[in-house]
Structure 1
Amino acid sequence: MSVDWRHVPARFEAFLAWLQPTPEERRRALGGVKAIADVVRCCLQAHGDRMKESMADPLVVGGFGKGTAIRDGDAVDALLILPPHSRESGRDSGRDSGRDTAAGGRATNIPAGLALARALASQFAAGAECANSRMQTKLVPAFACRAGGYLVADRNRTLGGGPWRLMQPRLEVRHLEHADAISGGKARHLIQMAKAWRRTSGAPIAPFAIELLVCEFLSAWLYRRRGFLFYDWLVRDFFFWLTAQTGVELPIPGGGETLNTGTGWRRHAERAYRLAALAADLERDNRSSESLLCWSLVFGGEFLLARQQQMQGLPAVVCSGGAR
């Protein structure tokens, strides 16, 4: 390995190990989803609704469903799959949208399902906190579509009585796995690091936008097949590219819709790029304490803490990637 940049592999491998949710966090995340689903079932039973008996278990999506959640995360997302018989065609079909593959292309009305969806949709932005944790469970009502995917209650649309949106969790995972495959696993790594930056900086960018942007970036990044030795350049180049992605419409896998990246986070990305560029230069000269300070300003104090814990006895890391 090159004498230059000798600290880079160990630092980033330690930081990524630190970012992984703990087993206890995973347990709480899944437990929170189950607990809220049980409450919904009890409410349905109390009202004598037959939906309770045929309601499927929630489907965990988002970071915990895709393997991109980070330690001390603030939310777990899940779809509450409502049974098909809660969708009824006929009255008020003009008010509640309707054309979707779950109903064979007919205009449909969702009286029982929509009533439940509206009640949940009005709350799922805030979620419900799990016991002894600041993590929130966001349970979003959905209907399975015959052609695949789910009609998901869009908070703004559903509350207004309009159409729901199509979500394809399996295609989203496939899209992410393709980006991971062509980059030697860097997609999930970079998403997790970008989420740490988002949390540290307060950048108002959606986690799903980060995921889609990372996948697009890695499809073109020159060093995507290199190892941990190149992770300082990975971060630096990503933030440089990110500064030009404000207000972009990103295609959502399988849904036929787009997600706008927004604009309010650009100054945060520009600052992160300047810090990452300086840190990468310092890494080249093995100026350890100065580069650590820069990375900590990008990702938070956990970057420094992870390396300190590694040096105090965690298993040694394998430095990979070759010289540069």
Structure 2
Amino acid sequence: MSVSDYFSSFCSNLRMNDDTVEKIQNRYKQITKRINIDYWGSTSETLHSLYVGSYGRGTEIWTSDIDIIVQLPTATYNKFNSYNSNGQSALLQEVKNVLQKTYDTTHIKGDGQVIALNFNDNINFEIVPGFINNINSYNYPDTNNGGSWKTTDPRKEIEAINSRNTLTNKNLKRLCRMARAWKNNCDVPMSGILIDTLAYKFLGDWSHKEKSYLYYDFMSRDFFKYLKDIDTSQHYWLAPGSNRYVFKTGNFQTKAATAYTDSLQAVEYENKDLHYSSKQAWRKIYGTKFPS
């Protein structure tokens, strides 16, 4: 096997299997239908909902939760916005009660900004009720600190990721997925949107952005170097497309420095035809989904 084979297999191993994707699609349709019945007088399984988060951006791996925004009518926004205190909390409770008509109450919980549907097979959904505003993004409820409305524009983020993914020979989404495997394996304090944002920025300037799997050892090495060299005093970045603030949750640079050192070792092993040792070094970074 070559470097190209290692990383091609690794990227395939990170994807959800067909059965999981089918379950996700079926649950998405049922959630959407329930919302449409109660809020729009429709049985549509597709209208008024949108995959967002890593699944919407196409950067998810097999462990990812599924994030959905469900659009509600303006009249519903007006109703809860008129509350004297925390109409946002009341809205989440109402949507939770609506979903309980379809799903067992033991699987449902409200959590600040989302309604979580947690299934026994660990294919979990986080549902955000939202309202289209006058700039075609969404207002959504935040129940914290007495309640407020936040704004998000996931469509612009999805468009930006898709566009750069096309320009980089599909390397962007694969790098995002590989970085998630590293995050999970090494307990790196980075959110999914921060991974996607920094991978987007890195590949915009990387000299081999249009190459394929044969360069993924270099892409990994150079991305970890990029991450470790980021000033630890920087606390936020702007998400691709939407330019919303993406805040860090901890200093990831230390873990990136370790991964960079390990990646240098992996590349050196490969150059010496020590293929088994090279793969073990990559598994130290990426975990057991990397071929042995």
Both structures adopt the same fold (TM-score exceeding 0.5): yes
- 1:211 offset after TM fit, Å? 0.4
Aligned length: 276
Aligned partner of 1:180 in structure 2 is 165
Q: 1:214 to 1:192 in 2, by over 3 A?
A: same
CA distance in 1, matches of 2:89, 2:284: 51
Q: Report whether the alignment pairs 1:151 with 2:142.
A: no
Q: 1:163 to 1:283 in 2, by over 3 A?
A: same
Q: Given that residues 236 and 277 in structure 1 are in contact (C-alpha distance below 8 angstroms), is that contact kept between their aligned partners in structure 2?
A: yes
Q: What do residues 197-248 of structure 1 show as CA deviations (whole Å, max 9, x unaligned)?
A: 1111121210111001100000111211222221101000001111133444
CA distance in 2, matches of 1:116, 1:202: 36
- 1:88 offset after TM fit, Å? 1.8
CA distance in 1, matches of 2:34, 2:59: 27
CA distance in 1, matches of 2:278, 2:257: 18
Letter in 2 for 1:142: G
**Residue from 100, 124, 139 that aligns with 1:136:** 124
CA distance in 1, matches of 2:55, 2:243: 24
Q: Given that residues 80 and 91 in structure 2 are in contact (C-alpha distance below 8 angstroms), is that contact kept between their aligned partners in structure 1?
A: no
Secondary structure of the equivalent of 1:138?
Answer: strand
CA distance in 2, matches of 1:59, 1:147: 17
Once structures 1 and 2 are overlaid, which stretch shifts more, 290-299 or 29-38? 29-38
Secondary structure of the equivalent of 2:210?
Answer: coil
**Residue from 156, 164, 179 that aligns with 1:171:** 156
Map 1:11-22 → 2, pairs under 5 A = 11-22=6-17
CA distance in 1, matches of 2:196, 2:4: 23
Letter in 2 for 1:68: T
TM-score, normalised via structure 2 length: 0.82
Secondary structure of the equivalent of 2:208?
Answer: coil
Secondary structure of the equivalent of 1:164?
Answer: strand
Q: 1:167 to 1:14 in 2, by over 3 A?
A: same
Q: Given that residues 121 and 141 in structure 1 are in contact (C-alpha distance below 8 angstroms), is that contact kept between their aligned partners in structure 2?
A: no
Aligned partner of 2:61 in structure 1 is 70
Letter in 1 for 2:148: P
For the pair shown, the structure with the greater C-alpha radius of gyration is: 1
Aligned partner of 2:18 in structure 1 is 23
Q: What do residues 110-148 of structure 1 show as CA deviations (whole Å, max 9, x unaligned)?
A: 7974663698752766822224x1121111111112321
CA distance in 2, matches of 1:116, 1:168: 24
Letter in 2 for 1:168: D
Map 1:199-218 → 2, pairs under 5 A = 199-218=184-203
Map 1:269-280 → 2, pairs under 5 A = 269-280=256-267
Q: 1:128 to 1:274 in 2, by over 3 A?
A: same
- 1:262 offset after TM fit, Å? 3.1
**Residue from 230, 240, 255 that aligns with 1:268:** 255
Letter in 2 for 1:230: Y
CA distance in 1, matches of 2:8, 2:272: 20
Secondary structure of the equivalent of 2:129?
Answer: strand
- 1:90 offset after TM fit, Å? 10
Instruction: Give the gaps of 5 or more residues in structure 1.
Output: 1-5, 45-50, 97-108, 306-324
Q: 1:90 to 1:259 in 2, by over 3 A?
A: closer
TM-score, normalised via structure 1 length: 0.75
